[in-house]
Structure 1
């Protein structure tokens, strides 16, 4: 029984290390999003850190429009980045979880 527990603890530690490595790697995975008309483009990492915002001079003429574009495009980019982040981390967690009866979190 203790061998099983030690094996599970080792597997959990290994999974935690893989998660940390993946989190660092996700800092280098870039997600791009832009408005439908291409006037605003944003790039962020899969860890949701904004790397760049590029906007057309046309947007500088209308503060309200710029604000609307920023909210929409940034929210879309954050959603994309979150999906990438969660998918990557869930795959590692699922692969690394010990098989404990009744604890099937990732069906």
Structure 2
């Protein structure tokens, strides 16, 4: 039993290291999101760091419209990045978890 516990602890430590490596890798994954008409484009990492915002010149004349476009497009980009982030981290965590009955449903 003690050997099993040591093996599980080692596996959990290995999984934690893989999760940290995955977080670093997700800094290099870029996602793009655009407004419906393409007037605003946002580039964001899978760790939800905004890298670039492109705004069409036509939006510079209407502050309120620009703010609305930015909010909508940034929220869509953040949602997409969160989905990628959570899927990647869940896959790594599930891969490294010991086989404990009933725990497999937590990572579906």
TM-score (norm: length of structure 1): 0.96
Q: Structure 2 unaligned runs (5+)?
A: none
Question: Is 1:45 the counterpart of 2:51 in the alignment?
Answer: no
Q: Structure 1 unaligned runs (5+)?
A: none
Question: Is 1:106 the counterpart of 2:101 in the alignment?
Answer: no
Structure 2 counterparts to residues 56-75 of structure 1, below 5 A: 56-75=56-75
TM-score (norm: length of structure 2): 0.95
Q: 1:100: Cα distance to partner? A: 1.7
Question: Which residue pairs with 1:29 in the alignment?
Answer: 29
Secondary structure at the aligned position of 2:79 is classed as helix
- How many correspondences in the alignment? 107
Q: 1:70: Cα distance to partner? A: 0.5
Q: How big is the alpha-carbon RMSD for the aligned residues of Structure 1 and Structure 2?
A: 0.9
